[in-house]
Copies of this chain bind each other. A is one copy, B any other.
Amino acid sequence: MSSVDNSELRVGMVGYAFMGAAHSQAWRTVNRVFDLPVRARMALICGRDESKVADAAVRLGWDGHTTDWRELIARDDIDIVDVCTPGDSHAEITIAALEAGKHVLCEKPLANTVDEARAMVAAAAKAQTVGVRAMCGFNYRRVPAVSLMRELVASGRLGTIRHVRAVYLQDWITDPQFPLVWRLQKDKAGSGALGDIGAHIIDLTQFVTGKRITGVSAITETFVKERPLPAESSGLAASADGAGGAGATGQVTVDDAAVFVARLDGGGLATYEATRFATGRRNALRVEINGSLGSVAFDLERLNELEFFDATEPGVEQGFRRILVTEGDHPYMAAWWPPGHIIGYEHSFTHEFRDFLAALASGSDPTPSFADALQVQLVLDAVARSAEIGSSWTEVEPVLAPVSA
């Protein structure tokens, strides 16, 4: 069992909360469902709390555990480092792992600052010269309906892109008594709704349209400015009554919501909204794209469906059609169930890891690259800066590095 199959790639994952559980499910599944030339082995899980990470290792199915990510990176028997930590440690862990010759899969957003992201891109570029690969985990690209959207746009079915409207609506902190978890602290999370969920719609819409956001005008807001300190938190759930004793509170240092208008290269207009205060919308990532020849619309809460409008059809028969993206010839779906048998959120990670492993096996660069993720970071940065200067128009800085097509 300790001998290593040449075709086996041993994964070390840093983080074990919500993202860690989702990644574990996907690592466990990817080779059971997809035929790939390499196999992932769930070798090592890393977290700061010895007792919790030990439990997680058993429960989630990892061979071993450690509390020191440096040890994880130092080990010879780790081929891939999967970074699921809060954004403040992405840069340090990722750069160290790449320098140690490990392939890296880093969760989004790539970093908390543009500077960190640039350093990570540089590290990835250097590593790439010796065959070490890096990828950023914008998992929603791998939702089959999203892949299908991209194919429809890429094949010209939408014509010239005129409009993008994208929202990512959640409501898990509308209660002012919800505590001050790490996602609400700027030093840990970098930003609030903007980086956490706004990053997803920025990446997704740019991915699908093949167009970049060139400039923005933005507003951000923190509706609840002070919250109870948390006792403990995991994922998106938490209870108050924390470290400072009953009644202790702290400042919320990130945005609760961000809205912005944007221009796309090629001439399109776009609106974006990311919020954690959209009461009743649990996880409503909704995107609509209008082109001169057609339109598409998508809702993550119904992720197996894609609405498509084809303006080249006879007028009396035109309409938005609900494509149930569960056919064998839809992206990724041949591996799963018969038509009409839907998949869930976690499958986006399984598909992501499939593509990552396939790229490693073939010696090609997986996407989205760190440079792609830096470009998203630059948009986030432009949004934040615009909001700071009274919504003034703010150009998105260039990446100054190759971005994958």
- Which residues of chain A have a CB within 8 Å of any CB of chain B? 1, 18, 22, 24-25, 28-29, 32-33, 35, 59-61, 148, 158, 162-163, 165, 167, 169-172, 174, 217-219, 221, 223, 235-237, 257, 259-261, 263, 267, 269-271, 273, 275, 277-284, 288, 290-295, 300-304, 306-311, 315-324, 326-330, 337-347, 390-393
Contact B315–A329 (Cβ < 8 Å): yes
CB distance from A183 to the nearest CB of B (A): 11
Contact B304–A301 (Cβ < 8 Å): yes
**Cβ 8 A contact of A391, one of B18, B158, B393:** B393
Besides A24-B32, A170-B340, A221-B267, 8 more A-B contacts (Cβ < 8 Å) are A22-B337, A32-B59, A171-B290, A261-B261, A279-B309, A282-B324, A316-B329, A320-B322
Chain A interface main SS type: mixed
Contact B172–A339 (Cβ < 8 Å): yes
Chain B minimum-CB-distance residue to A280: B309
Chain B residues lying within 8 Å of A218, measured Cβ to Cβ, are 217, 261
Contact B261–A162 (Cβ < 8 Å): no
Chain B residues lying within 8 Å of A292, measured Cβ to Cβ, are 174, 277, 279
Among A61, A281, A311, the one with the most B-chain Cβ atoms within 10 Å of its Cβ is A281
Chain B minimum-CB-distance residue to A303: B342
Chain B minimum-CB-distance residue to A167: B165
CB distance from A27 to the nearest CB of B (A): 11
Q: A32-B61, A316-B329, A316-B330 are in contact. Are A345 and B339 (CB under 8 A)?
A: no
